[in-house]
């Protein structure tokens, strides 16, 4: 299994190809040869991303079949099933890198901001489970951005939500904590820009 640093480089290079409109022979080949993966998988990165249709994870990193273990949920929130999926992949495949991939103009973040601004809507308990997980990250941002315009506020809220998921993954699982302590896992946040197609990696931990 490649190191977290090499995995990060692979993702950075892939996003550069995506933005530049290039097609990589290796990822094309892996798309063409998915049948060869029938005996097993060896994904080099785990990605917790938002379900937003504008953020197709393999495409934005120019990766193919078998490359990424992807968990998608609205607002890239961390609930037990997300942690369990990551524990599974990290311990089963020895994957060393976890990326929490948020994105600009995230609907889950915007919905939570609206709710906090008292534009309350009636939500199902299931939708509430997502909003309630986004809310703690965003409340302090609302405090510090009282005078900001909506775009600045939304951008700050998106990043706070990504960082909150990184924090929760880093402190919400004995298995992941052990892997982090042993230096066998790196968890990083990243933000995808819907406008430019670029992925910006935030602070590593």
Q: How far is the CB of 175 from Zn ion (least distance, A)?
A: 27
Of 22-30, 44-52, 63-71, 128-136: span binding Zn ion (CB under 5 A): 44-52
Q: For residue 128, count other CB atoms closer than 10 A to its CB.
A: 13
Per-residue tokens: 56: 């197709």
Binding footprint of Zn ion, residue count (CB under 5 A):
3
Contact between 73 and Zn ion per CB under 5 A? no
User: To the nearest whole angstrom, how small is the minimum distance from the Cβ of residue 52 to Zn ion?
Assistant: 4
Asked if residue 179 binds Zn ion (CB under 5 A), the reply is no
CA 166 to chain centre: 9
| Torsion angles phi and psi, residue 54, rounded to 5 | -90, 5
Sheet holding 45-49, edge to edge: 68-72, 45-49, 97-103, 186-192, 199-204
- Angle among Cα 39, 8, 134 to the nearest 5 degrees reads 95
CA distances from 162 to 33, 39, 187, 190, 191 (A): 33, 34, 11, 7, 8
Interface pick for Zn ion out of 10, 52, 62, 191 (rule CB under 5 A): 52
Which CB, 9 or 54, lies closer to Zn ion? 54
- Is residue 106 part of the contact set for Zn ion (CB under 5 A)? yes
Q: Least distance to Zn ion from the beta carbon of 105, Å? A: 8
Nearer to Zn ion, 68 or 106 (CB): 106
Stretch that binds Zn ion, among 12-20, 25-33, 47-55, 110-118 (CB under 5 A): 47-55
Q: Which residues are near Zn ion by CB under 5 A?
A: 50, 52, 106
């Amino acid at each position: 299994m490649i190191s977290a640093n090499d995995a990060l480089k692979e993702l950075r290079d892939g996003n550069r190809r995506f933005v530049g409109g290039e097609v990589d022979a290796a990822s094309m080949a892996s798309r063409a040869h998915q049948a060869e993966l029938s005996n097993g998988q060896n994904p080099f990165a785990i990605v917790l991303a938002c379900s937003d249709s504008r953020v197709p994870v393999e495409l934005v990193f120019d990766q193919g079949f078998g490359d990424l273990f992807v968990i998608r949920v609205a607002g890239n929130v961390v609930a037990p099933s997300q942690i369990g999926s990551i524990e599974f992949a990290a311990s089963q495949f020895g994957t060393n890198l976890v990326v929490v991939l948020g994105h600009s103009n995230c609907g889950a973040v915007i919905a939570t901001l609206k709710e906090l601004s008292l534009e309350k809507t009636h939500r199902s308990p299931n939708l509430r489970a997502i909003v309630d997980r986004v809310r703690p990250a965003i409340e302090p941002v609302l405090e510090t951005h009282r005078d900001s315009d909506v775009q600045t506020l939304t951008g700050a809220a998106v990043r706070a939500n990504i960082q909150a998921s990184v924090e929760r993954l880093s402190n919400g699982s004995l298995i992941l904590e052990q892997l982090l302590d042993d230096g066998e896992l790196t968890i990083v946040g990243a933000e995808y820009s819907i406008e430019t197609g670029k992925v910006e990696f935030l602070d590593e931990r």
